[in-house]
């Protein structure tokens, strides 16, 4: 038995790029980031960000086009795929992609930050009204 399974939970780094090949066949490509934190030998906390190229086909690509936005928390299940190419200098390069077959969308971190700013602004405004003498 062989298994090729990838599970990622991270933030979308850019709005998806969509390409249509026909009316019913399209692909979405975008990058998403996952972070890992560890302590080095001196005990200093190190944050490492990994960028993953995500590829979604057909219905998932259409969903991505409508709903997936930069900054969104995204859960992706799929498989890893390697593409071998030759660059303009004749050197062989390997491109790594995650071919998604299941996605679950979470909160948009940019939207969340904006909402927090609005709440804080409204809270400060309420404080000022609470201190009025009448």
The tokens describing 28, both together, are: 């979405």
What pLDDT shows up at residue 76? Answer: 95
Domain that holds residue 92: 6-108
The tokens describing 91, both together, are: 């050197």
| Nearest by Cα to 11 from 79, 106, 117 | 106
- CB-based contact 52:80 (threshold 8 Å): no
User: What is the number of domains present in the chain?
Assistant: 1
Whether 47 is covered by a domain: the verdict is: yes
CATH number at residue 13: 2.40.50.140
Whether 98 is covered by a domain: the verdict is: yes
The whole-model pTM stands at 0.75
What pLDDT shows up at residue 128? Answer: 55
Whether 128 is covered by a domain: the verdict is: no
Whether 1 is covered by a domain: the verdict is: no
- CB-based contact 21:65 (threshold 8 Å): no
CA 81 to chain centre: 18
Whether 93 is covered by a domain: the verdict is: yes
Whether 44 is covered by a domain: the verdict is: yes
Give, for all 134 residues of the chain, the pLDDT tens digit. Answer: 999 999 999 999 999 999 999 878 999 999 999 999 999 999 999 999 999 999 999 999 999 999 999 999 999 999 999 999 998 899 999 999 999 999 998 876 666 666 666 666 665 555 555 555 55
Q: How far is CA 20 from CA 61, 64, 80, 112, 114, in A?
A: 10, 13, 22, 31, 33
Whether 13 is covered by a domain: the verdict is: yes
Whether 134 is covered by a domain: the verdict is: no
């Amino acid at each position: 038995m062989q298994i090729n399974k990838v599970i990622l939970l991270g933030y979308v780094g850019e709005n998806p790029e969509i390409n249509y090949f026909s009316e019913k066949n399209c692909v979405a490509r975008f990058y998403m980031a996952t972070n890992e934190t560890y302590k080095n030998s001196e005990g200093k906390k190190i944050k490492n960000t990994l960028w993953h190229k995500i590829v979604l086909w057909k219905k998932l690509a259409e969903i991505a086009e409508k709903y997936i936005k930069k900054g969104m928390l995204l859960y992706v299940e799929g498989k890893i795929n390697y593409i071998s190419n030759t660059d303009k200098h004749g050197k062989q390069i390997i491109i790594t992609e995650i071919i998604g077959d299941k996605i679950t969308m979470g909160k948009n971190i940019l939207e969340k930050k904006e909402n927090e700013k609005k709440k804080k602004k409204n809270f400060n405004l309420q404080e000022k009204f609470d201190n009025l003498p009448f």
